[in-house]
Amino acid sequence: MQLSVYRPERDATELRDLLAGPGMLDYLYPGLRRPPSIDDASRDWCTPPHEAGGDCQWVVRLECGEAVGCIRLETCELSFLIGQPFQNRGLATQALTLTKERLRVKGAQPLYAYADRRNVPSSRVLERTGFVFMGLIDKPGSPNRVLAYCLSPQLAAGQRPDRVRSSPARPEASAPR
């Protein structure tokens, strides 16, 4: 697996095709009565972030070069997607692990990630890659509350906080309400 810096002229069509997969827009835009059109989603995901601010976007590619997903970092907020045909193969976990390695070299600040409450696989990916569940929050721009996760430099180095909230991805260990 490899991460290549997103270049619209090379990658936009492949990324748009991944966004058009079944159910993708429902998870990327949780809680909206009607998800945005593929054109609107493409504007969100296929427009490069502001690199001058340290933001970046990578295309997740298999060794053969096929695009399977995308990782986006904007102001310490990490977003990721893996196209529907490539899900449930461990690719998101591999991609986030590679991303953490790249960011560790740059001395990354804490990273935040959010998951739709219905998207248990994304929550598990975040937990497998060292993100800690912080709670259910109201996120600006999202009509529903979302699961919030954090990866601090101390957590990235393998240090665990004294108290960690129970994960919603494992119902048997869920925190009291």
pTM: 0.76
Task: Give the angle subtended at the CA of 159 by the CAs of 157 and 164, to the nearest 5°.
Answer: 130
pLDDT above 90: percentage of residues in the chain? 30
Query: Amino acid identity of 152?
Result: S
- Comparing 138 with 23, the larger pLDDT belongs to 138
131, burial (CB in 10 Å: exposed 0-12, middle 13-18, buried 19+):
buried
Mean pLDDT of the chain: 77
For the stretch 29-78, pLDDT in tens is 655 555 567 677 776 766 666 554 557 889 999 999 999 999 988 878 89
Q: What is the pLDDT of residue 64?
A: 95
- Comparing 163 with 89, the larger pLDDT belongs to 89
- Comparing 176 with 138, the larger pLDDT belongs to 138
Q: What is the pLDDT of residue 150?
A: 92
Distance CA 11, CA 110 (A): 28
Q: What is the largest CA-CA distance in the chain?
A: 49
Tell me the two tokens of residue 87.
Answer: 């899900």
Q: What is the pLDDT of residue 177?
A: 33
Superfamily of domain 2-173: Gcn5-related N-acetyltransferase (GNAT) (3.40.630.30)
**Reduced 3-state DSSP string for 123-166:** HHHHHHCCCEEEEEEECCCCCCEEEEEEECHHHHCCCCCCCCCC
Q: What is the pLDDT of residue 74?
A: 83
Distance CA 149, CA 79 (A): 11
Q: What is the pLDDT of residue 93?
A: 96
Closest C-alpha among 1, 124, 121 to residue 59 = 1
Which DSSP string corresponds to 28-88? HSTT-SSPPPHHHHHHHHSSPP-GGGT-EEEEEE-TTS-EEEEEEEETTEEEEEE-GGG-S
Is residue 157's pLDDT more than 70? no
Distance CA 168, CA 123 (A): 8
